[in-house]
Amino acid sequence: MTSSPGTPVPASTVFPETDLRRATAIRRITARIVEAPTTRKHKLSNTSVSHQGYIFVAVELENGVTGYGEGSTLGGPRWAEESVEAMKANIDAYLAPALIGHPACLAEEASLRMDRAAKRNFTAKSAVDMALLDAMGKTLDVPAHILLGGAVRTSFDAIWALASGDAAQEVDEAQAMIARGWFRRFKIKLGFADPATDLARLAALQKALPEGTPMVADVNQAWSEAECIRYLPALRDLGVSLIEQPLAAGQTAASRRVAARADVPVMMDEGVSTLAEAATETAAATGSVLSLKLCKHGSARNLKRVAGIAAAGGVQLYGGCLLESSIGAAGHLHVFATLPRLEWGTEQFGPKILVEDLVTEGLRYEAFQVHLPEGPGLGITPDHDIIEKFSRKD
């Protein structure tokens, strides 16, 4: 078929739907456990990691294209219920069999199949979904964000997490990030020491860093309502601009009271994974900011739905992370790029905390921003030698 200049050729002529379905049928899904060393210990209120655990997923289509995805966890099933071992077992035994032969181009149906095969398991599902998105982008020779509505931004204000627990080390680390032009906004992890010790760390950072340095305090669900009443004013006085998940997930009534009396915005994180939780917590006003993570929401499209629910309720958005390599970070950036608003920027510092990133060329951090990778799919290439090096062999 020919067409005159300027006359668009119907998409069906270029790539008939039946051919696309046949070409993108899923031939094989494999999952590997990867344990990559970090440059220093990363502490949370309930654990500490020096090796970051990932599930690395490869999805091979009938057209020969392979897409890659990644799911991240912190110290086993402590941050959430999933561990890398559980993710691999459930992908191998339940999620992969549900998808073999299914066209990757039918992404919504793929998500429904995974939901029927296994309840929750959001991180495992998000890793598979990310690999499908990568494979489809490569098949159609377009960046992944095009399949999600298209980018409205290609760079993001970047946030670095300070979580060693050593105030002097954290001051040096933060100053180095500023000097390199990578990060000038910081999140400090609290909750793994008593509040007085945590506040002393924060005061040391505030004194050493340039005046006005934006600071997020992540309490990691470690405080009670009484402790919030006592210590949140001190965080305000130390110049904290945002307080993340001070109370345990599920304490909706107490979280609403804390958020109502706080002089600093409170961010929901672990308390919001599902669409129902997004609706409930937004309506209850347990926070005025929401941290978005693929590992919580199960797929790129569900992240966008959760973001929409929150935004409709007047909640601002923050791009969270779980120490992903450039593989998982790229997946997040492609989704974040399509959100109409992302008021608080994004963390996605994971690639810079690894001793060795898992890709041949990592994400670009420049002028205190992290930049959306270019090229088809996720726009990154896994380094299979490094992945093999850090893969669990047993």
Which residues form the catalytic set?
189, 347
- Cβ 252 vs Cβ 259: under 8 Å: no
End-to-end CA distance of the chain: 55
Q: In 3D, which of 358, 341, 282 has the Cα closest to residue 314? A: 282
Helix axes 122-140, 107-117, angle to 10 degrees: 160
How deeply is 155 buried, as exposed, middle or buried, from its count of CB atoms within 10 A (0-12, 13-18, 19+)? middle
Q: Alpha-carbon distance 295 to 347, whole Å?
A: 14
Q: Report CA 257 to chain centroid distance, whole Å.
A: 28
The tokens for 146 are: 């095009």
The tokens for 109 are: 């149906």
How many CA atoms does the CB half-sphere of 314 hold within 13 Å?
7
Give the residue carrying structure tokens 């549900």.
98
- Cβ 327 vs Cβ 364: under 8 Å: no
Q: Alpha-carbon distance 126 to 71, whole Å?
A: 7
Strand pairing class (215-218; 242-244): parallel
Distances in whole angstroms, Cα of residue 70 to Cα of each of 52, 134, 185, 250, 294: 12, 11, 26, 27, 10
